[in-house]
Amino acid sequence: MMVVELVIGTLTHSMALTADGWHMATHAGALGMSALAYWFARTRSKAEAFSFGTGKVYALAGYTSAVVLGIVALLMFGESTRRLLNPEAIQFSQALPVAAIGLLVNLLSVKLLDADEHHVVEAAHADEADEAHDDGPHDHADDLGHNHHDHNLRAAYMHVLADAFTSVLAISALLGGRYLGWRFLDPMMGIVGGIVILRWSVGLCRGAARQLLDMVPSPALAQAIRRKLEIGDDRVADLHLWDLAPGRRGCIVSIVSDAPQEIAVYRSLMEDFHDIAHLTIEVQRCPNHAPLT
């Protein structure tokens, strides 16, 4: 479909159709990157070289795909602006059927990836349940800011969704140009599509970057952990919480106390936080430590 849109878009001088074709071409590469990320993460899931597993590979691939998506949006905006200032004759009757078929292909892709996203989340829940006896607690709920976003799969989904959106814009522009004589719609739709897709790209970059930079995934969850552990004279002196992979988080907590309890007691208090796959607790006896505020 990508090849057909590029060829027909060039021959008919339709910027909307050509932009959709290039959009799909770039996304084909991005989807290949997503597949490579899954292959890399799964084949190296047991490698000792990765201290916390290969979950960050998904976020890295998602971030890279988002950058590519942003570049495509800027190129679409630039070329569409040039066509708006220097209009070209468009062969609407040849371009319209191709744009319609392109939309159907993109909608089918969206449906398939949407189903895959739900399947991956359910599989993640099942994996966490299977591993609970070995690695500690895992998550089966979506409370306290918990999420199971796979930024790599979400990037793939956003790519095909963006393709479907540009196909709708292409069809709208071609219909308006053919039946209403509004030839400016063809390059204008390229501009509008570029702006909207750029916004999607920025949002996806932010989500993946939070995981790559080990930002606290949920301030509410961090506060809940503090409240759970700070009982009596016990005080959380240091807390690190970060995403390891979709649905899996790491937590390192340091507790100071006049009369510390056994580590097992503190671990039992953390059993409610099911998505924490890697938990390290350090307890220090610290007489006369600062009171809680």
Q: What is the pLDDT of residue 128?
A: 44
- Give the whole-angstrom CA distance, residue 157 versus residue 170: 20
- How far CA 141 is from CA of 12, 125, 137, 173, in Å, comes to 52, 9, 12, 44
Of 177, 190, 155, the residue nearest 78 (C-alpha): 190
pLDDT of residue 172: 87
Q: How many CB atoms lie within 10 A of CB 291?
A: 7
**Average pLDDT score over residue span 104-124:** 70
If DSSP states are collapsed to H, E and C, what string results for 134-152? HHCCCCCCCCCCCCCCCHH
pLDDT digits (tens, 9 = 90+) for 26-73: 777 777 877 888 888 888 878 888 888 888 888 888 898 888 888 888
Supply the pLDDT for residue 282.
92
Is 80 exceeded by the pLDDT of residue 99? yes
What percent of the chain clears pLDDT 90, i.e. is strictly above it? 13
Could you tell me which residue, 130 or 232, shows the higher pLDDT? 232
Q: Give the model confidence (pLDDT) of 236-274 as tens digits.
A: 999 999 998 877 899 999 999 888 888 899 999 898 888
In order of 3, 144, 284, the CA distances from 231 in angstroms are 64, 20, 15
Residue 177 vs residue 293, higher pLDDT:
177
Q: Cα–Cα distance between 96 and 173 in angstroms, integer?
A: 9
What tens digit of pLDDT does each residue of 123-152 get?
544 544 444 444 444 333 333 434 445 666
Helices H / strands E in the chain, number of each: 8, 3
The type of residue at 50 is F
**Chain-wide mean pLDDT for the chain?**
80
Q: Which domains does the chain have, with CATH numbers?
A: 2-212 (1.20.1510.10), 219-285 (3.30.70.1350)
- pLDDT band for position 225 (50/70/90)? very high
**pLDDT value at position 279?**
92
Average pLDDT over every residue of 168-180: 87
pLDDT at residue 226, rounded to an integer = 92
- Of residues 208 and 140, more confidently modeled: 208
Helix axes 92-135, 151-179, angle to 10 degrees: 170
Q: Are 18 and 82 in contact (CB under 8 A)?
A: no
Torsion of CA 163, 56, 121, 199, to 10 degrees: -30
pTM of the predicted model, to two decimals?
0.68
